[in-house]
Amino acid sequence: MSKLPDLEAWAIFAKVAETGSFARTAAELSLSQATVSKAISRLEARTKTVLFHRSSRHVALTANGHAALERAARILSEGLAVEAEVAEQGTSLRGAIRLSAPMSFGLARLAPVLPGFLQAHPDVELDVQFDDRAVDLVVDRFDLALRLANLEDSSLLARQLCKLQILLVGAPAYFERHGRPRHPSELARHQALQYSYARGGPNWRFRHPQHGEFTQSMRVQMQANNAEALTPALLAGLGVALQPAFLVWQELQSGALEAVMPDWQVTPIAMHILTPPGRNRPARVQALIEYLAEAFAHEPWAGVAELIGPLPD
């Protein structure tokens, strides 16, 4: 493979041609005069030609130097332009933001709050991808991701926004037919509706403040990789499910669904905003993070815990 072009030296060459002086070029670029001289010498060695006629008082382009000047000047101007553009995007609310979010939460709760951000910042462009899998922010080139999970150690930077209570719910008519369980062991005679990515799968783990933990293996009648897809089956009285509060708070308030076993709780998960390693985020990304943190702090499902009981520690 051939060596990369010495772009820095070509930019310095263009500046020397513009100023007509090594010393003035060094001053304008905040370089030493020796650095400027060495850059020109490197180019002349690489190209095996003389680019400047030098005297004690004057620097003038040779014919070969004139031939190279137009393209070298373009290198300098393009370099200055790209740095200015990137710097502007880093400090102003302009440019693209690539965001990943889980499907159910993304459609139900994230999508409704995004128009407000776009209206406030019309020069920002959002690329939102809904996916329940844990995307790789670095490989998939995401600026940030919402993740509903208790995170393991990671090189990613995480900001916890809130905890999300997981509730054991079913339709009142279902409980009238099959009974309202008071202890996890009673769930053995119930049908389960299961979120495919739930940690533990069909082994549902509960915790009681006095009696400790209890795990019950469930018979799963239906599973889905989107928790929202379980709602119609719940409303039809086909079984019970462990659902996050943000998906069922309206049905709980209306009475369409009922939460049972309030003394036995599932360990809550947390909602995090993740960003790739490195703390220098563009201003537009930081603005979206702050906007989402504020928006989700006032979500109505945050008060569902009052209907069931406090979150466990």
Give the chain's domains with CATH numbers.
7-91 (1.10.10.10), 95-160+274-299 (3.40.190.10), 166-267 (3.40.190.290)
pLDDT digits over 71-83, tens only? 888 888 888 777 7
Sheet order of strands, 240-244 included: 219-224, 191-195, 240-244, 166-170, 258-259
Distance CA(157)–CA(151), nearest Å, equals 11
User: Which carries the bigger pLDDT value, residue 173 or residue 269?
Assistant: 173
Average pLDDT value for residue range 214-242: 93
By CB atoms closer than 10 A (0-12, 13-18, 19+), residue 203 is: exposed
The single residue listed with the structure tokens 């928790």 is 227
The whole-number pLDDT of residue 309 equals: 38
pTM: 0.60
pLDDT score of 270: 81
Check residue 200 and give its pLDDT: 84
Q: Report residue 301's pLDDT band, with 50, 70 and 90 as the boundaries.
A: low
From 22, 44, 42, select the one nearest 32 (Cα to Cα): 22
Q: For the chain, percent helix, then strand, then coil, each to nearest 5? A: 45, 25, 30
Lowest mean pLDDT among 112-126, 205-219, 233-247, 278-292: 278-292
Contacts of 75 (CB under 8 A, 6+ apart): 7, 10, 11, 14
Q: Which of 275, 281, 282 is nearest to 90 (CA)?
A: 282
φ, ψ (nearest 5 deg) of residue 183: -135, 145
* Cβ neighbours of residue 127 closer than 8 Å, sequence gap 6 or more: 96, 97, 98, 99
DSSP 32-101: -HHHHHHHHHHHHHHHTS--EEE-SS-EEE-HHHHHHHHHHHHHHHHHHHHHHHHHHHHHSS-EEEEEEE
